[in-house]
Amino acid sequence: MATQVITGRDVSLSFSGSLGTDIDAQALSATLTKTIDRQTYQTLDGEAYKTINVEAEFTMEILADWGKTNSVCEALWGAADSAPDTTFTVTMTVTSGHTFAFDCLPAYPAPVGGTAPDAQTATFTFKVSKGAVVETFS
């Protein structure tokens, strides 16, 4: 079987509500990272393990769109200002048929600004609520 190469251009994003109507067109990167906080105990019988927590983080870098109608930067900034503990749903789909759905807590972009002559970008790092990610394949 031939190797299938999946690139970042094979990923599409959607956000619930009015938090992003043009994400794919301005996204430079999108990364979902899920980690396990696992304790290791040395017992008389050998190692024993206990998972304490499962966490996930979603990071994306986009071309800044401040001042644009339906600005993603402004919508996410506003959500972080007005409802920082209210989640919004992100769906990330890969052309291989895998879909990852998860609820994120709003975050401010960091940094705001840029360097000449480069395009201005905004990077967001979102905490995934309860580390819960639903992966499906269709």
pTM: 0.88
Residue 18: is its pLDDT beyond 90? no
Residue 79: is its pLDDT beyond 70? yes
Tokens linked to 3: 């190797």
pLDDT per residue as tens digits for the range 41-50: 999 999 999 9
Q: Which residues of 2-32 are buried (b: 16+ CB within 10 A; e: fewer)?
A: eeeeeeeeebebebeeebbeebeebbeebeb
Residue 11: what pLDDT?
87
Selection from 116, 57, 106 nearest residue 84 by Cα = 106
Mean pLDDT of 107-124: 89
C-alpha 4: how far from chain center: 24
